[in-house]
Amino acid sequence: MSPAQPRTRPAAHLGPARAPLPEPAPRPPRAGPHPLVPPVAAASGGGEAISAEGLTRRFGDKVALAGVDLRVPAGSVLGLLGPNGAGKTTTVRILTTLLRPDGGRARVAGYDVVGEPSAVRARIGLSGQYAAVDERLTARENLYLVARLYGMGRRTARAHTAGLLERFALGEAADRPSGGFSGGMRRRLDLAGALAARPEVVFLDEPTTGLDPRGRNDTWEAVQELVAQGTTVLLTTQYLEEADALADTISVIDHGRVIARGTAPELKAAVGGERITLTVTDPAARGRACEALAALGPHRPALDPRTGSVTVATEHGTDALRTALESLAAERVDVRDVALAPPTLDDVFLTLTGGASGASPGAGSTPGAAAPAAPAPGAGPSAAGPSAARPSGSGPSEGGRRRVFSRRRGTERARKGGAHAWRP
């Protein structure tokens, strides 16, 4: 397996997207990376705590990793975001020397994970799905065990253990067997173990999966504290808000490939500036509302058939909102509630993984899904306000095509129902 695979991806950067993204027309058969993926510069090692190039790994017939590239500058937090089975844990296991890659190279804390695994292990901490605490040992014994196995002498290990117990609020439970701990306490103990030797790089594999909100908050605080001290962190998560809250940069991984990377705002900008979501009072008027909104800009409105709310992306913020409301008023469509909000990482994720592609016209992943009860094409555009952004390519003639309804995005929005808020 040659470590350096030819990279054909364009160097598209994640600037604030003012134009619709060049979307890979009907969902490519995963031949090349998404254009959102900027090329990874050759790993220099300087200032990089983690660098991985073209990591591949298969389990039998199943390709777990199809060429993962990662770069994590020292002292930063990378969020590895992806659904179950995307390859997050496999990536972590390779980077923590638990698994050999079939191909590609990776360096952690300056050492090659395949060639110098012991040096890597001495400098990393691992916590999460695949780490564990010994249920029959107390919290103190668990931490002492790990500290000793990192090579510390008895006295140093004892001192470290006491410090960690305090720092992770385990002091009271220190001498109880950890088998009786709550999920949150157990995870804290596991995390404390990962930090026992003050590692340079910490890997947290789904650190909050299965935790209640309080446990999650505790874990978040611990991670933030860690970062404040300059530790490099790679965390995997399925929770978009977790990546948003904790990570400096995010790599979105799907089917064993990094399909996008950037900061949370960059990723959000990449799929379109903001989202207008509104609910019309009269269900019969939904079609007209969609028409009116479609006329405003390049983005297709999406109707959630369940809640009846209509969502459309825009790059013009409150101007677009004002225009939208004016044009709806002109159409005599009564609006019950309305919100303007930046895209969530859910939007990003669903867009990137093909769940929906409402951000760009003409690249519908559900072509042919026409609006129910839609009025005749061409009825809406006349009402469009002058400030509505409309690239030449999306004139009235395409009106029919724009009425593409995305069920997935719709339900996703509905699930998050409470996120409606006005933004100044």
Partner 1 sequence: MAALSPAAAPAAGPARTVRDGMIIAWRNLLNLRRTPGSVIAALIQPLMFVLLLAYVFGGSLGGDGYRSFLMGGIFAQAVTFNASFTAIGLASDMDKGMVDRFRALPMPRGSVILGRTLSDLAMSAVTLTVTSLCGLLVGWRVEGTALDAVRGYLLVLVFAFAMSWVGATVGLVARSVEVAQSAGLVWLFPITFVSSAFVSVTSMPGPLRVVAEWNPVSATATAARSLFGNDAPAAVAPPQSWPVEHATGYALLCALGVIAVFMPIAVGRYRRIARG
Which residues make up the interface to partner 1 (CB under 8 A)? 93, 96-100, 109, 118, 121-124, 126, 130-132, 134-137, 141, 145-146, 148-153, 156, 177, 193, 197-200, 229-231
- Residue placing its CB nearer to partner 1 in the complex, 150 or 405: 150
Q: Nearest distance from residue 248's CB to partner 1, in Å?
A: 17
Rg (CA), the chain: 25
Closest distance of CB 129 from partner 1, Å: 8
Q: Please, what is the minimum distance in Å from the beta carbon of residue 220 to partner 1?
A: 20
Question: Alpha-carbon distance 282 to 291, whole Å?
Answer: 15
Q: Which is nearer to partner 1, 32 or 73 (CB)?
A: 73
Could you give the C-alpha distances from 354 to 23, 174, 300, 326, 413, in angstroms and in order? 10, 47, 15, 32, 16
Please state the closest distance from residue 109 (CB atom) to partner 1, in A: 8
Task: Report in angstroms how near the CB of residue 93 gets to partner 1 at its nearest.
Answer: 7
Q: What is d(CA 67, CA 54) in angstroms, rounded to the nearest whole number?
A: 4
Q: Crossing angle for the helix pair 407-415 and 345-352, nearest 10 degrees?
A: 160
Helix (H, G, I), strand (E, B) or coil at 149: helix
Angle between helices 183-194 and 139-149 (to 10 degrees): 20
Tell me the closest approach of the beta carbon of residue 2 to partner 1, in angstroms: 21
Closer residue to partner 1, CB minimum distance, 229 or 392 = 229
Query: Do you know the residue count of the chain?
Result: 424
H-run or E-run covering 409:
helix 407-415
Amino acid (one-letter) located at 360: S
Reported as type and span, the H/E element at residue 105 is strand 103-108
Q: Given the complex with partner 1, which of 24 and 177 has the nearer CB atom?
A: 177
Structure-block tokens of residue 149: 């196995």
Which CB, 113 or 294, lies closer to partner 1? 113
Identity of the residue, 152 or 234, whose beta carbon is nearer to partner 1 in the bound complex = 152
